[in-house]
Each structure stands twice: as structure tokens, then as C-alpha cells.
Amino acid sequence: MGMMTLSFLMAGCQGSKNESAPNATDSVAVERPDTLTAEEKAAFDKDVKEFLIDMYNRQLFQEDTFLNIHCSEAIIQKMKDEYAKKYKADGLAYWIFRSDKDGDGDVYSLVSVRPEDDFWYKYTFYDNGIAGAHRVKVIKTDTIFHIEEIE
């Protein structure tokens, strides 16, 4: 399979330690879409799509455990900064995965996930009836998807 093994310092997530999370001396398999065959890339994109659908439709981005496993330290810090800016308190701004508007509808679902270049995926959604979209950079180490960046 188009996977490469390398010593990888994971931009780990803050919070509770996942005992199976790799550290700087662990060797982990990193799946890079740019090293995959067309068939493997299609399977990778399908798996990322399923991951993002599950994350959004089950609102897993509002669960600290999920975030600590699947988000980069930079995203966790961004969530902390946004929350502190808005509320002058400690917490995580879960809304960075949602729209920036408050809606009064009851539709809350992912509409589509489209692969882009260099690990990026654009997802569109309805958030309380408000349409929105974000781009996320997703990689896979061993069997775990990691959201490295969000726009």
C-alpha cells in the first residue's frame, strides 16, 4: 500500500493523554494521499469522507475526548483562544467546526465532503438551518485520522 513509515512527531492534542498515542521516538505509518495509487487515493478519500460525516452528524467536535484524539495542538489552541476571547474564561470554541451564525432551524447535517489538493477536504453543512462550509486538512497515522488545520 502507498504508505510510508517514518519517525513522526505528532502535533499531539492537549488534554488527557491517549496511551496509544505515538511520541517522538515511535515509528508510525503515515498515509499520505500524494503517495497513493488512484485506487488507494479513492479509498482514502472515502474513509476521510466517512470520518467527517460521522464527526459532524454526531457532533463529535463538541466532545473533548474526540478532539484530543483527532485534532492538532494548533486547533485545540485556536479553540481555547476563541473561547477566551468571547467569554473571558477557559473552554473550547466548538463552533469553529460550525457556521458563524446562530440559526433557529432544526436542520443539522453534513451535506457534502469534497477532496481538494494536499490533504485538504471541503465540507458543506447545515447548522440549525444555516448553510456553511469549512476546509480541513486531514492526515492518517496508523488507523487514526487527524485534523491538522481548519479554515
The CATH architecture of the domain made up of 3-150 is Roll (3.10)
- Residues 90/79, Cβ–Cβ less than 8 Å: no
pLDDT digits (tens, 9 = 90+) for 11-44: 333 333 333 343 333 445 666 656 788 898 899 9
pLDDT at 53: 95
- Alpha-carbon distance of 40 to 5, in angstroms, equals 17
Cβ-proximal residues to 37 (8 Å cutoff; 6+ apart), any chain: 2
**pLDDT tens string 132-150:** 999 999 999 889 999 999 9
Q: pTM for this one?
A: 0.76
